[in-house]
Each structure stands twice: as C-alpha cells, then as structure tokens.
Structure 1
Amino acid sequence: MNALLKAKSAYSAAKAPTRTAKNFEYEVVARVTRRLITAAQNGRDEFSELAAALNDNRKLWTIFTADLASKGNPLPNDLKQNLFELAEFTRQHTSKVLQREANIRPLVEINTAIMRGLRSGAS
C-alpha cells in the first residue's frame, strides 16, 4: 500500500458523521412514526401491522419515561413534566386506537413534534 492510500484510509474514518444521542433518538422516533403512518395507510385489513407499530411506539414512550425519571437526566423539570404528560396521553390514546375508537393522527403529530425538537437541538 502506498503512502497516499495509507493516508486516505487513516483519515477516512474521520469523515464519518458523529452520531449523538439526539441523532439516535431522532432516528428511532422517525422509524416508529413511519411504521405508524404506513400501517394506518394499509387500512383495516392490516390491523395486526398497525397493532405492532402501536406497540413499538408505546415501548418507545416507556423508554422515554424511564429515562426522564432517571437521576442523571439533565432536562429541566418543566420539560420533563410536559414529556411525562405526553407519554401518558400516548399510552391512553394508543389503547383507544387499538380498540378502534380513535385515529393515529395525534400520535403521529406528537412524535413529529418530538422529532422537530430533537432536530432543532432543543434540550
């Protein structure tokens, strides 16, 4: 291997974007939200797909609440409280969607707002 190739390979890793916790959270929320939208668009015939996406969204919000409750969470208390309330709404609304009494739109809107906050760098 010549010196130029060695230099390229040594510095190529530095080109890779740094993944932050916020980037990772954004990707996970975006993936779950896309699944919710896709499953809802597939209609009643694919309700099991929607139920699986709703379950994943509920798990995501459960993880968020566990993180919010942890001692090391640096978010301001008022923001934590707001997120806890969104988590509770999400839990209740998910049950209504699973009972076919509600639409997924509010869940998608909440996740989208969370993604905007993560993308803008809000803490």
Structure 2
Amino acid sequence: MTAHLMAQAAYGAAKQAALKTPRNVEYDIFAQVTARLRAAEAAGKPAFPALVAALHDNRQLWTTLAADVAESDNRLPEALRAKLFYLARFTQDHSRKVLAGQDSAGVLVEINMAVMRGLATQGQAA
C-alpha cells in the first residue's frame, strides 16, 4: 500500500465523519442501538447479557434525548418535544419490563425505527 493510499484510508473516515450533520449522527446512533436490540431479541435467552447491554445503551440514548428536548433553547416544536419526552419515559418503563421478563423489546425497536424514519425524512427535507 502506498503512502498516499495509507493516508487516504486513515483520514478518509475522519473526513467523512466531519461531513455528517447532527441529524446524521443521531440517525447512526439510533441505527446502531436498534440493530443491537433486534439481534439480542432474536437470539433469545442465550443473548440475555447482550440484551441487557443494548437496553442500557437505548436507555442512555433516550435519557440524553429527554434532557435535550427539556432544554428551553431547544428549537423543536413544543408538541414534538413533549412527545419525545413522553417516549423517553415510556422507554425507561418498558425497558424495566423487558429486563424483568414481562415483555419483549419489540416495541422499543418500533419506536426507534419511527424516530429513524423521522430523522431520515427531516434530513431529506433539509
């Protein structure tokens, strides 16, 4: 591999990351966490530790999102902010049920997918 190709490989990812919008970054994070939730759910009981880790990361994501929409300087419409905050609370409560074996993570995946569709649609409009 030539020095030029090595430099391109090393700095290409950084350059591409620098070109991402905050919305793209949010989408990517949701996509990663959702894929992990899906995979752990599909693998069943043997993957319970992976499910716990994915649920933890999903809860952190939603906690961060709730804190963001609760900020007074958040520019999203107030109604959307309220809905996202409600979904964050629902995600916390439902995650407890999943961990207790009382429900599945399917609805959490559906919620994340809906947010991802919204982020993708917003990104196309921008």
Map Cα deviations across residues 30-88 of structure 1 (whole Å, 9 max, x no partner): 00000000111111012111000000000000000111112221001100011111111
2:69 aligns with 68
2:38 aligns with 37
Determine the C-alpha separation between the residues in 1 that align with 2:101 and 2:16.
44
Determine the C-alpha separation between the residues in 2 that align with 1:42 and 1:79.
34
**Counterparts in 2 of 1:16 and 1:78: CA distance versus 1, 3 Å:** same
Determine the C-alpha separation between the residues in 2 that align with 1:87 and 1:23.
20
Determine the C-alpha separation between the residues in 1 that align with 2:73 and 2:22.
14
Determine the C-alpha separation between the residues in 1 that align with 2:55 and 2:45.
14
Q: Secondary structure at the match of 1:91?
A: helix
Structure 1: runs of 5+ lacking an equivalent: 1-8
Paired AA for residue 105 in structure 2: I
Determine the C-alpha separation between the residues in 1 that align with 2:16 and 2:105.
36
TM-score w.r.t. structure 2 length?
Answer: 0.82
Which structure's residues are more often helix, by fraction? 2
List structure 1 segments (4+ residues) > 6 angstroms apart after TM superposition.
none
2:86 aligns with 85
| 1:116 and 2:122 aligned | no
RMSD of Structure 2 on Structure 1 (CA): 2.0
1:22 aligns with 23
Q: Quick check: which has more Rg, 1 or 2?
A: 1
Aligned sequence identity (%) = 45
